[in-house]
Structure 1
Amino acid sequence: MPHPYPQVLDVQVKDAKTKDTAISTAVQELIPEAVRSRTGISVTRRSITDFQVAVDVSVPCGEIHERVRI
């Protein structure tokens, strides 16, 4: 049976204007799973236009951590 909530979302943006909205939307989508699993969320920049938003056990519950991996 598939997991009811996503744990990782890949976000690709075309420009800076859409970046914040796209990442915020992904974070909002992952919040139910983060709350259920009592973890936080990480936002990792992989390039200027590529981000990964994930439920992350290394992030304390209720927190969002930003990382850069370019």
Structure 2
Amino acid sequence: MTRSYPLQRAVIVKDAQGRDTALSEAVQELIPEALRQRTGISVTRQSWTEYNVAVDITVPCGQIHERHSHVTNMAELS
């Protein structure tokens, strides 16, 4: 039986100490699918506490790219 792996994972953190651990766990969970598809993984910061980790065909196999979504409203920064 073939195991199904997720293509993306939302990560919500409460503080900086937990951020690195939560993002590392999400990346580790997606690595098998990224390798199966021969692609990389992107980590996109949506806000100070929200991230999206995804298998990404625009990222070369074996690489992880960090991105920041564009903030359109300065109020979102506070």
TM-score (norm 1): 0.95
- The residue that corresponds to 1:48 in the other structure is 48
- The residue that corresponds to 2:68 in the other structure is 68
SS, match of residue 62 in structure 2: coil
Aligned residues: 68
Return the offset for 1:41: 0.1
Return the offset for 1:53: 0.1
Q: Structure 1: which 5+ runs fail to align?
A: none
RMSD of aligned alpha carbons: 1.0
Sequence identity of aligned pairs in percent? Answer: 63
Runs of 4 or more, structure 1, over 4 Å off, are none
Structure number with larger C-alpha Rg = 2
Q: Structure 2: which 5+ runs fail to align?
A: 72-78
SS, match of residue 22 in structure 1: helix
